[in-house]
């Protein structure tokens, strides 16, 4: 009996030792796995930290905290030799524009680099690079009083238009227009704004490099006697142009006033999509300040709003609305807004439109302009909103975002637009008036008979006009 008890006790002890041994082995195995896991986790965390740090450094480099070589602006030997005046202009130039050197132009990654230009600031090119892009300025697209536009090509065969300014040395006005172009269009991006790829600012050359527009400017197709383009396409061009102006006025961080909206400054790509161009007269203004005072007139006679030509008169962004209204009349009539060869009542298209509208004869006018029946509704809508856009009071003109909505049909137009020519009635009874014009800089007074005020009559412009190549 005692033997059996002893035997059972020994067996129990052996079982306990066996269980303890198994538990100890399992604990050791668990510890080993935990240690291995912690080592692997440490390695993973270390690699992740290194990757994050590397990514942050790379982002900082791209953001400009660590400026790569191509983005450094250095003064060339030519600039060291120029006069003090030129150095002063160079100092005023924003220093955030990157410089592209010859080695980078021919670098294998040029195509990738150029594809990123849309997201970058305008690039500063050298005179030698401009000459290379344009094949020594061999293909002329157009010319004007201030310069010549050449067709060019980037090394990756992307076509460009290069505006080379002439007689710029010591020309303060031209330098101001040059910097206005860069500071305005250089900070914007919209599908209906021409893209500025870069510029050249050097004592020997001032040039602007734009994307190339295959179909030239709107005036080439709008006033074509053959009328090869459907009126519906012209209507779409008007909407695209309105969207671009609305973007400049209402969506940019700083409001941009173009001052020179006209068919010559609306460029067309291969699909006839419009892009607003030529920001040489543009002006930035804070949204808090609703008015800008100009020391002199801007823009093109006939397209510029009346207030633009009144000396020291406050001007708002509504002057662009007026110019766009004049252009809409031209799209409706497919003719210039003023034609002295027509009968007196039809010479000035905006006034003729108002007279016909007031007499409920707008349908007849559209027929005389050659608008097909299927386009009459849209043409009537365009003519009516154009009458609102050219109102003599800037405050009575609509904002461009509303113009877009009206043209697209998502907003109704007012039933009866007010008379846009109320302020002119005293000057032109029976359509012919005697204007007493006094030169503010002289004591003499001149008289002349006119059919419209002088600021409405277009004259030969000096702006560069692009020709279809």
> Tokens 């808090």 belong to which residue?
288
Catalytic residue at 202?
A: no
211: number of Cβ within 10 Å: 18
If you compute the radius of gyration of the chain from its CA atoms, what whole number of angstroms results? 34
Would you say 238 and 227 are in contact if contact means Cβ atoms under 8 Å apart? no
233 labelled ligand-binding: no
How far apart are the C-alpha atoms of 143 and 26, rounded to whole Å? 90
Would you say 291 and 314 are in contact if contact means Cβ atoms under 8 Å apart? yes
Which residue in 15, 28, 202, 260 is the catalytic one? 260
Residues noted as catalytic: 260
Q: Which residues are annotated as a binding site for ATP?
A: 163
């Amino acid at each position: 009996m005692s033997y059996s008890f002893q035997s059972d006790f020994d067996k129990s002890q052996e079982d306990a030792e066996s269980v303890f041994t198994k538990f100890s082995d399992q604990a050791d195995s668990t510890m080993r796995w935990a240690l291995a896991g912690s080592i692997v986790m440490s390695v993973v965390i270390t690699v992740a930290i290194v990757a994050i740090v590397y990514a942050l450094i790379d982002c900082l480099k791209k953001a400009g905290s660590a400026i790569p070589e191509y983005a450094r602006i250095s003064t060339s030997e030519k600039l060291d030799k120029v006069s003090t005046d030129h150095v002063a202009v160079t100092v005023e130039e924003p220093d955030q524009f990157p410089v592209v050197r010859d080695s980078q132009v021919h670098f294998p990654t040029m195509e990738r680099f150029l594809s990123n230009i849309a997201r970058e600031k305008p690039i500063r090119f050298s005179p030698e690079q401009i000459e290379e892009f344009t094949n020594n300025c061999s293909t002329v697209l157009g010319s004007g009083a201030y310069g010549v536009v050449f067709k060019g090509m980037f090394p990756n065969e992307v076509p460009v238009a290069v505006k080379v300014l002439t007689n710029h040395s010591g020309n303060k006005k031209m330098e101001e227009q040059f910097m206005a172009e860069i500071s305005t269009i250089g900070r914007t991006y919209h599908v209906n704004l021409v893209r500025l790829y870069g510029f050249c600012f050097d004592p020997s050359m001032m040039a602007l490099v734009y994307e190339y527009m295959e179909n030239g400017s709107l005036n080439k197709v709008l006033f074509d006697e053959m009328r090869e383009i459907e009126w519906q396409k012209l209507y779409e061009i008007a909407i695209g142009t309105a969207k671009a102006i609305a973007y400049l006025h209402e969506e940019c961080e700083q409001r941009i006033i173009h001052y020179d909206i006209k068919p010559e400054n609306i460029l067309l790509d291969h699909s006839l999509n419009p892009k607003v161009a030529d920001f040489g007269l543009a002006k930035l203004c804070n949204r808090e300040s609703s008015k800008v005072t100009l020391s002199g007139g801007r823009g093109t006679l006939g397209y510029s709003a009346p207030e633009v030509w009144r000396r020291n008169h406050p001007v708002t962004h509504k002057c662009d609305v007026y110019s766009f209204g004049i252009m809409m009349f031209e799209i409706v009539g497919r003719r210039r807004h003023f034609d002295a060869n027509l009968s007196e009542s039809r010479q000035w298209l905006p006034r003729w439109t108002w007279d016909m509208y007031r007499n409920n004869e707008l349908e007849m006018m559209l027929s005389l302009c050659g608008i097909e029946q299927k386009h009459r509704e849209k043409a009537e809508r365009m003519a009516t909103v154009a009458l609102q856009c050219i109102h003599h009071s800037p405050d009575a003109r609509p904002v461009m975002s509303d113009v877009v909505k009206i043209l697209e049909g998502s907003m109704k137009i007012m039933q009866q637009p007010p008379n846009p020519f109320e302020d002119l009635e005293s000057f032109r009874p029976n359509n012919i008036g005697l204007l007493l014009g006094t030169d503010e800089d002289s004591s003499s007074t001149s008289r002349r008979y006119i059919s419209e005020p002088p600021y409405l009559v277009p004259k030969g412009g000096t702006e560069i006009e692009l020709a279809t190549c």
